[in-house]
Amino acid sequence: MDFSITANKRPLIGLSPMAGYTDSPFRQICRQMGADFVITELVSAEGIVHTRKSKLHLSKTFELMNFNANERPILVQLFGADAEVMKEAAKIVAEELKPDGININMGCPAHKVVCNGKGSALMKNPSLAAQIVEAAKKGSGLPVSVKTRLGWEDETGVCEFAKAIEDAGANCVMIHGRTYKQGFSGVANWLPIYEVKKSLKIPVLGNGDIWTMSDFEEKVCNLDGVLIGRGAVTNPWLFAEISALQKGESLSIENNWDAKLIILKQYADLKFEYKKEHGIIELRKFVLALLKGFPNATNVRLQATQIKTLKDVQDIINEVKVLTA
């Protein structure tokens, strides 16, 4: 896929990958809401190659990458620190799943990922990072993008790192405006991302702390687009609001409970179709986020912590309808 602002005539808004949240049902909802593209949560390149060898096609690894046609354009996100394994994994993914691109994780700060030189740790090894990009491109024949952070301890090397990625043939760099050291603390710093954009030819997308339409307007600046993560979990309508803004229209979903309940029902149906009761249990956090700040809803909120069936979700929908009538 082409990530550039010139090709799209406006900045792109993508769904940022989030392990445990951005599963196929959620990605489908976000695409429907107006996300321009979505990314699967991170999947181990080694896991894919191992799974293939042991012919465990219906394993958890493949489950994480499976997607529905209505999610396209979709990028499958891989992590790993071995270029040969990355090449093989990217080839398997391209042949078997045919996504619109491969995205390589060079930003995950989780200990079990960085202690093996993967994720964020690759920011300390630009030449290996570049080899991994080349390998993924060769293996898949697809556009390859990289999702990374500002740096390990500070942002001083971010332009150089991004340049190494570009020179290796990456089609896009996506940067979360925090360092490895910061984890998720503090606020995202977008200024170094604007500097990266000035020094690269390939599209650059920014990421971090977009919760509202005005955050988007404030932060997008010279970039080709943004990724939205947590803001989409609490408010998938954000994509619709930003899309409307880009068309010069105005849309605020804040108090539009009819629209919110329609999406809740659709999302619940998808969750149940994909994951049965477990899907509805996972939906609890979404319903609670939806009801945040909703007045006189103590009982409904309590009910939301216990939902297990589609009927439980329908009961909540009915009660919210009564409360908002």
Ligand X SMILES: Cc1cc2nc3c(=O)[nH]c(=O)nc-3n(C[C@H](O)[C@H](O)[C@H](O)COP(=O)(O)O)c2cc1C
Judged by CB under 6 A, the residue of 164, 210, 238, 310 near ligand X is 210
The CB-of-258 to ligand X minimum distance in angstroms stands at 27
- CB nearer ligand X, residue 23 or residue 312: 23
Residue position matching structure tokens 């606020």:
187
The CB-of-206 to ligand X minimum distance in angstroms stands at 10
253 binds ligand X (CB under 6 A): no
- CB nearer ligand X, residue 7 or residue 187: 187
Span of 15-23, 153-161, 189-197, 303-311 interacting with ligand X by CB under 6 A? 15-23
- CB nearer ligand X, residue 141 or residue 186: 186
User: Closest CB to ligand X belongs to which residue?
Assistant: 229
Single-letter amino acid code for the residue at 233: V
CB 31 within 8 A of CB 38: yes
209 binds ligand X (CB under 6 A): yes
105 binds ligand X (CB under 6 A): yes
- Which residue from 318, 324, 322, 284 is spatially nearest to 301, judged by alpha carbons? 284
- CB nearer ligand X, residue 179 or residue 207: 207
Contact set for ligand X, span 119-148 (CB under 6 A): 147
Judged by CB under 6 A, the residue of 139, 208, 225, 236 near ligand X is 208
Instruction: Tell me the C-alpha distance between 91 and 97, whole Å.
Output: 10
18 binds ligand X (CB under 6 A): yes
228 binds ligand X (CB under 6 A): yes
231 binds ligand X (CB under 6 A): yes
Residue 33-72 contact track with ligand X, rule CB under 6 A, x = bound: --------xx------------------------------
20 binds ligand X (CB under 6 A): yes
Please state, in angstroms and as integers, the Cα–Cα distance from residue 81 to each residue in 96, 109, 137, following that order.
22, 14, 15
Span of 27-35, 67-75, 105-113, 268-276 interacting with ligand X by CB under 6 A? 105-113
Catalytic residues: 108
Q: Which residues bind ligand X (CB under 6 A)?
A: 16-21, 41-42, 77, 105, 107-108, 147, 176, 207-210, 228-231
